[in-house]
Amino acid sequence: MSLLTTVLLLWGLTLRPATAQFDGTSEAILRLDPQSLLEPWANLTLTCEASFPTKSFQLIMNGWRLHQVNLQKYVLSHQFPLGPITSSNSGLYRCRYGVEPPTTELNELNKWTMLSNLVEVTGTEPLPRPSLSVQPVPWVVPLLGTHLRCHSALRGVTFMLRLEGDDSFLKEITAQDKDQAWFAVYKPGTYSCSYRTHAEGTPSEPSAPVIIKAYTKPPPPILDFFGNYPQVKFQTTLEILACRAPMNVHDFQLRRGERVLNVRGVSPLRDLMIYHLNFTELEDQGPFTCRYRIHRKVEGWSEDSEPVELMWSDETLPAPVLTAEPSSKNLEPGSTVRLRCTAPKDGLRFGLQRQGDIIEDPLIQMLKPAGTEAVFELHDVSTIDSGNYSCVYMEQTPPFSGSAPSKILELLVNGPPPKPKLEALWTGKVPLGHEAKFRCHGHVPKVSMELVREGYRLPFWMSSAMRSTWAELKLPFVGPQHTGNYSCRYTAESPFEFVSGTSDPVELIVEDI
> Is 227 found in the same domain as 210?
no
> Is 237 found in the same domain as 203?
no
What counts of helices (H) and strands (E) characterise the chain? 1, 36
Q: Domain for residue 126, yes or no?
A: no
Q: Report, as an integer, the average pLDDT of 122-134.
A: 94
- pLDDT category of residue 247 using cuts at 50, 70 and 90: very high
Q: Report, as an integer, the average pLDDT of 287-306.
A: 91
Is 511 exposed, middle or buried, given 0-12, 13-18 or 19+ CB atoms closer than 10 A? middle
CATH value at residue 494: 2.60.40.10
Q: Domain for residue 237, yes or no?
A: yes
How far is residue 157 from each of residues 43, 81, 131, 172, 367, measured CA to CA in Å? 17, 21, 14, 10, 60
Query: Are 465 and 445 contacting, i.e. CB atoms less than 8 angstroms apart?
Result: yes
Select from 376, 411, 446 the last residue of a domain. 411
Q: Domain for residue 154, yes or no?
A: yes
pLDDT of 485 above 50: yes
**Percentage of residues in the chain with pLDDT exceeding 70?**
91
Q: Domain for residue 146, yes or no?
A: yes
Number of domains in the chain: 5
Q: What is the pLDDT of residues 341-380, one digit of tens each?
A: 999 999 999 999 998 766 567 889 999 999 999 999 999 9
- pLDDT category of residue 163 using cuts at 50, 70 and 90: very high
Give the pLDDT confidence score for residue 311 in this predicted structure: 86
Q: Report, as an integer, the average pLDDT of 92-121.
A: 79
> Is 116 found in the same domain as 13?
yes
Q: Domain for residue 263, yes or no?
A: yes
Q: Domain for residue 315, yes or no?
A: no
Give the pLDDT confidence score for residue 394 in this predicted structure: 93
Distance CA 421, CA 440 (A): 6
Better-predicted residue by pLDDT, 384 or 134 = 134
Q: What is the pLDDT of residues 380-394, one digit of tens each?
A: 998 888 889 999 999
Query: Are 377 and 332 contacting, i.e. CB atoms less than 8 angstroms apart?
Result: no
Q: Domain for residue 309, yes or no?
A: no
